[in-house]
Amino acid sequence: MRIALLGGTGDIGEGLAVRWGRDTAHELLIGSRDPERAREAAGAYRETVADHGGDADIAGYDNTMAADRADVAVLAVPPYHVVDTVKAVADGLNEGDVLVTPASGMSRDEDGFSYNPPGVGSVASLVRDATPDAVPVVGAFHNLAAGRLADLGMELGIDTLVFGDDDDAVDSITQLAEEIEGLRALHVGGLGAAPEVESLTPLLINVAQQNEGLHDLGVRFH
């Protein structure tokens, strides 16, 4: 499978790239508005995987080309860039592709982070509205600490919550998530579940910042 990480030069893109690069044989396409930056990041990710005994198939492209070549595209961009990114790559998204959103709207003040959804109710809804109708949207990977994900020396042992309205697309992303060693994917419903899932991100950041030794915490449901 070909997986594009759009905006994949950032923290969450790096973490997913090196984990999939080490644990799977999927072809990983690192996307960026700057293709040279994407190629540099892809090279660094390959080195990281090689340092841990892997041989990853990772290459860098501009976002449009990465999306056009991919079966699954992950929007590894901040929430305020999701709509522009989707619109930029929309012509390369085809029926049968899946678009994944891990972004969460947040604001910050002196008390910490708070969930700050857009007017349509969730970042996932923004993505759904901007995405061609034939392309299903799935939410996943919101609650993963990017630093922990990118550190291949750390065991995960955590869960990620997956939601979407297309059962086949949800099943596909659930399988992809669980191909990452130590990651369990739990289905939580359709896109209507997005606010509850997205709101976990600022909560986890606040817990990590307020408690010593929990910098890269994750969630495991029992």
Q: Note the pLDDT tens digit of each residue in 115-172.
A: 999 999 999 999 999 999 999 999 999 999 888 999 999 999 999 999 999 999 999 9
Residue 12, pLDDT above cutoff 90: yes
% of the chain residues with pLDDT over 70: 100
- Rounded-to-integer distance, Cα 139 and Cα 124, Å: 7
Query: Residue 84: which residues within 8 A CB-CB, separation 6 or more?
Result: none
Residue 109 falls inside a structural domain: yes
Q: What is the CATH number of the domain that holds 27?
A: 3.40.50.720
Task: Give domain status of residue 217, yes or no.
Answer: no
Phi-psi region of 6 (alpha: psi -120 to 50; beta: other; left: phi over 0): beta
Note down the domain range covering 150.
2-210
220 occurs within a structural domain: no
Integer angstrom CA distances of residue 137 from 96, 110, 125, 172: 11, 34, 9, 12
pTM value surpassing 0.85: yes
- Calpha distance 5→31 (Å, rounded): 6
Q: Summarize the confidence of residues 32-47 as an average pLDDT.
A: 97
φ, ψ of residue 163 to 5 degrees: the values are -145, 155
Predicted pLDDT of residue 49: 97
CA end-to-end span of the chain: 31
Distance CA 199, CA 116 (A): 8
* 215 is a domain residue: no
Please tell me the predicted confidence (pLDDT) of residue 214.
80
Any domain includes 70 = yes
Residue 221 in any domain: the answer is no
If one counts the domains in the chain, the total is 1
In the prediction, which pLDDT does 216 show? Answer: 80
What element of type H or E holds 146? Answer: helix 146-150
7 φ/ψ sector (left φ>0, alpha ψ -120 to 50, else beta): left
User: By the 8 A CB rule, do 106 and 114 touch?
Assistant: yes
- Rounded mean pLDDT of 7-17? 96
216 domain-assigned:
no
Residue 222 lies in a domain: no
